[in-house]
């Protein structure tokens, strides 16, 4: 889960998960890569001093590229498991909104009005809509944000991370999917939000799927953008939930939810027509492709930074779990979920609130207890990255020693935003903003 220009350590991509688009995404990836670099690469010029962080912000690292994204994911995950966030945290998020309804990744001085140079971001805005809608009490802010999204819709029906006037490029699957989730959360019917010319977000999103004319092994996958199209795991996971009209929070699909994962039926021409049935068929085709990308044990996706060996892609594996659950494929999600329970908590600790939130949402989508996730209390760990919640269930002892959780960053794209346009190949965090901002080529 990530914005197109969001930070997140997806392996080789955000989620995301995670976007002035390509430049922001690349910058985000660079920040994340630096934060996760081994000690051997630590020597050299001193890093610039970290800015003084606002009181209500989650995470301890520079929020320049993912502040709103990681805050939104953290608040949404807390709300989903019954935690009442601190008022300061909610106020910080609401205070980031521009007068026209848009959100940028981070505004150090919210008291200064957004100007022409403020990099408004559809991924960050969509994440904020989902969080503020869930928390309630921010109806006017949500409607203004929805209105802004509608005002920057592309003629093809989709969105890029950054509007055209801010260097935005063509529509991309991740941004279009996260906007669909925001529209649905706000009570809109995405199919009715049409651009001039009548094209809907779903039409744009389904157009990113590699269909029956694609190569063997690519059919059913989604590409990040139509230009230089290539199968992309981050885009595929995001597009599945978007095609089903869902956002970051997916209703639990138990391990016995055994809807079969169906590949595109190319003998019958692939996905049928338009409408809900077509979208479900498209989502199934994407799910089938994702399952086919899991390692030989069916446990996780693999990815690698250019020139590096392949390694597990934690963020996109978490996104895959959510995507499978969204399609009713709870049984198919069990192996990657079990792998996450054994292997993902160290990744989340390194990457901070958006990563913890991504795992909480994956647990929720599969009916798994996030307070006992492979021996870790994800809820307590997430809470520790920000101001103390206003109300909370008792935390398990598992995360009691996670004293440095606050040192985590807001994401590791594999990260969303995603967050929007130029998602950079990263090292793992699906819904994380990073995820959404990675450059989408290959896995």
pLDDT in tens, 246-301: 999 999 976 666 677 888 888 766 555 678 888 999 999 999 999 999 988 889 99
Residue 41, judged by CB atoms within 10 A of its CB (0-12, 13-18, 19+), counts as exposed
Residue 85 has pLDDT above 60, yes or no: yes
Average pLDDT in the 154-174 region? 88
Residue 54 has pLDDT above 70, yes or no: yes
Beta carbons within 10 angstroms of residue 64's beta carbon: 17
- Give the closest residue to 97 by CA, choosing from 67, 53, 73, 135: 67
In the prediction, which pLDDT does 208 show?
A: 96
Beta carbons within 10 angstroms of residue 216's beta carbon: 5
Average pLDDT in the 219-245 region? 95
Rg (CA), the chain: 19
**Residue 347 corresponds to which tokens in the numbers above?**
């990744």
Cα–Cα distance measured from residue 12 to residue 28, given in angstroms and rounded to the nearest whole number: 13
Instruction: Give the DSSP letter string of 215-258.
Output: PTTTTT-B-S-STT----HHHHHHHHHHHTT--S------TT-B
**Neighbouring-strand partners of residue 258:** 329
In the prediction, which pLDDT does 257 show?
A: 64
For residues 41 and 316, the model is more confident at 316
Cα–Cα distance measured from residue 329 to residue 250, given in angstroms and rounded to the nearest whole number: 12
For residues 33 and 102, the model is more confident at 102
pLDDT in tens, 98-115: 999 999 999 999 999 999
3-state percent helix, strand, coil for the chain, nearest multiple of 5: 45, 5, 50
In the prediction, which pLDDT does 310 show?
A: 84
Using alpha carbons only, give the angle 344, 414, 317 rounded to the nearest 5 degrees: 50
For residues 321 and 2, the model is more confident at 321
Mean pLDDT (the chain) is: 80
Residue 37 has pLDDT above 70, yes or no: no
In the prediction, which pLDDT does 239 show?
A: 98
In the prediction, which pLDDT does 158 show?
A: 97
- Give the closest residue to 172 by CA, choosing from 181, 162, 182, 184: 162
Beta carbons within 10 angstroms of residue 210's beta carbon: 23
- Give the closest residue to 37 by CA, choosing from 9, 65, 62: 9
Average pLDDT in the 116-129 region? 96
Average pLDDT in the 166-176 region? 87
**Neighbouring-strand partners of residue 8:** 412
- The residue written with tokens 């608040």 in the block is 75
**Residue 308 corresponds to which tokens in the numbers above?**
């590096």
Cα–Cα distance measured from residue 339 to residue 354, given in angstroms and rounded to the nearest whole number: 19
pLDDT in tens, 388-435: 999 864 444 333 344 444 444 433 333 333 333 333 333 333 445 444
Express as a percent the part of the chain with pLDDT over 70: 72
Cβ-contact 168, 183 below 8 angstroms = no
Q: Report CA-CA distances (Å) from 260 to 30, 217, 233, 264.
A: 39, 19, 20, 12
- The residue written with tokens 């990099």 in the block is 119
pLDDT-based confidence at residue 40 (cuts at 50, 70, 90) = very low
- The gap between the terminal CA atoms of the chain, to the nearest Å, is 15
- The residue written with tokens 């150090």 in the block is 108
């Amino acid at each position: 889960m990530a914005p197109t220009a969001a930070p997140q350590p997806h392996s080789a991509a955000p989620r995301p998960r995670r976007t002035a688009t390509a430049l922001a995404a690349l910058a985000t990836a660079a920040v994340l890569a630096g934060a996760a670099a081994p000690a051997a690469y630590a020597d050299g010029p001193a890093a610039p001093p970290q800015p003084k962080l606002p009181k209500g912000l989650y995470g301890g690292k520079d929020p320049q590229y993912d502040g709103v994204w990681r805050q939104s994911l953290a608040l949404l995950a807390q709300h989903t498991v019954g935690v009442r966030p601190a008022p300061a945290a909610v106020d910080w998020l609401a205070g980031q909104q521009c007068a026209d309804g848009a959100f940028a990744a981070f505004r150090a001085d919210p008291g200064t009005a957004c100007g022409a140079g403020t990099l408004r971001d559809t991924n960050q805005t969509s994440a904020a809509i989902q969080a503020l809608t869930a928390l309630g009490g921010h109806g006017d802010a949500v409607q203004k944000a929805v209105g802004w999204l509608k005002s920057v819709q592309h003629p093809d029906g989709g969105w890029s991370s950054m509007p055209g006037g801010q260097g935005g490029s063509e529509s991309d699957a991740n941004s279009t999917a996260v906007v669909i989730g925001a529209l649905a959360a706000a009570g809109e019917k995405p199919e009715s939000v049409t651009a001039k010319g009548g094209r809907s977000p779903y039409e744009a999103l389904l157009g990113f799927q590699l269909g029956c004319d694609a190569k063997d092994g690519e059919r059913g996958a989604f590409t990040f953008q139509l230009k230089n199209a290539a199968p992309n795991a981050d885009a595929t996971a995001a597009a599945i939930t978007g095609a089903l009209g869902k956002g970051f929070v997916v209703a639990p699909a138990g391990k016995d939810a055994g809807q079969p994962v169906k590949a595109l039926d190319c003998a019958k021409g692939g996905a049928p027509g338009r409408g809900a049935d077509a979208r479900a068929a498209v989502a199934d085709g994407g799910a089938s492709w994702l399952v086919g990308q899991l390692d030989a044990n069916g446990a996780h996706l693999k990815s690698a930074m250019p020139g590096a060996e392949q390694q597990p892609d934690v963020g996109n594996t978490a996104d895959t779990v959510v995507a499978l659950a969204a399609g009713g494929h709870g049984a198919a999600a069990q192996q990657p979920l079990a792998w996450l329970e054994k292997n993902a908590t160290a990744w989340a600790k390194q990457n901070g609130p958006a990563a913890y939130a991504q795992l909480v949402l994956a647990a929720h989508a599969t009916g798994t207890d996030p307070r006992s996730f492979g021996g870790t209390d994800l809820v307590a760990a997430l809470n520790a990255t920000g101001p103390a919640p206003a109300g909370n269930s008792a935390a398990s002892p598992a995360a009691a020693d996670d004293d440095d959780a606050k040192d985590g960053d807001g994401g590791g794209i594999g990260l969303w935003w995603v967050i929007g346009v130029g998602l950079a190949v990263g090292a793992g965090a699906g819904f994380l903003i990073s995820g959404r901002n990675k450059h989408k080529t290959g896995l």
